[in-house]
Structure 1
Amino acid sequence: MHFVIMGCGRVGSSLAVTVEQRGHSVAVIDQNADAFRRLGPTFAGRRVTGVGFDHDTLVEAGIHEAGAFAAVSSGDNSNILAARVAREKFDVDNVVARIYDPGRAEIYERLGIPTIATVRWTADQVLRRLVPQGALSEFRDPSGRVVLVETIVHEGWTGRPLSALEAAAGVRVAYVTRLGQGIVPTRGMAFQDGDVVHVVVADERLGQATALLAAAPEGDS
């Protein structure tokens, strides 16, 4: 597959080198020719100096043959514009844009452009390392409204069906890690001591839901 990457900063250069090492062809676009030094001397892909949403620049980068386009420059507006051009004008199937402002991510998702909201993602990763207990965020949708978290479940839930956890906390159990193995829940599956439970929940309910699961079920002494 041919990849076109807009932006040769730390993310873009790392992505380009990784993709090439996996056997794909790559073209990297950047307005600053000096940025291509990040690619290293062994990089064999194309280096195209120009603006990533310019028609001629994209053609020079091989956009007509591209199966994937990534806009990972330092500018939100440039990234989303370039991604839309790649998707809508050149019919590239796989397109993604890096967005610093998480508030914009939902809008761009509605336009059909998958986004990576780097500020939100980075905050989640830092939090995972700062908070040893409680819910650990594993995924957050671009709008920030839905999260997948690994959460502590009180031992009082042992033997109770996972559906009871879902009903009590208003969550959906995505999967369970049991004895080091991931398991997709089946009908009637019960929580066992030692299980690590991963749930999908609305962000606005995250605190309440995890607090309910971390406590004994109602009625237990």
Structure 2
Amino acid sequence: MPAYQSIGPYAVPILSNEWWINNIVTSFFIFVFLFIGIKFKNNKSFISKYTLFIGLFFITRLLWNQWYQNLYGQWNPEWSLPLQMCSFSAMLSGIIPILIYFNINDKIKRLLFEFMFYWGIGAVYALLTPQYTHGTYGFIYQDYYISHGGIIFVILFCIFVHDFKPREYSWLKIFGYSQIVLLIIHFINRSIGGIANYFYTIKPPIVDNPFVMGQFPFHIIMLDIFALFHFSLLYFLFKSLKRS
């Protein structure tokens, strides 16, 4: 059965033709929409409307995803709730532009941006190691790349168009907050039961990933170690690039 018609877990073979085509197309659209934002950055009226459009688009996409799963009879609390790290980031990719448009509480915007900035590394790995938890039927296949590519796009859009940046020690704060989220999600997984595995707190993902080793609870410890490493790396890399 073709990948785009499959029901059930599916992982795109890394470096396959399918993998290359999907990531090249996704990168192209990220570049195009980011270029538009940077090109018209000084046109406040256009950027304001463009920012609102981006926010509404990604909020609508999130709601559509839930409706579409239900339409196909595939919605299930064990895998359909937006409780993965990338699902939270996808929500933020819609919420943050709307907060920017309405100029709502700068501290809240900055904090939410930092969550998306650090958690966004998950979107990068999602594109590098694509995994469909609940199948690739209908437009769910394309939506995977719109969602994860959108996270990366909005992060870059906030940085290059709206001059957002992670604050000092933000990498450590977000890592600490993430542990609270991780604990809450783990209890939700246990409460739902079945194959619920949001944030992969129950078992590691099905893809081959060098950063995921062992079974519960050791895979969580490894994920935490590499999360802390990546958060700090992102912060200091961003800081060094801004200086140069």
TM-score with structure 1 length normalisation? Answer: 0.24
Higher strand share: 1
Higher relative contact order (CA 8 A, sep 6+): 2
Higher helix share: 2
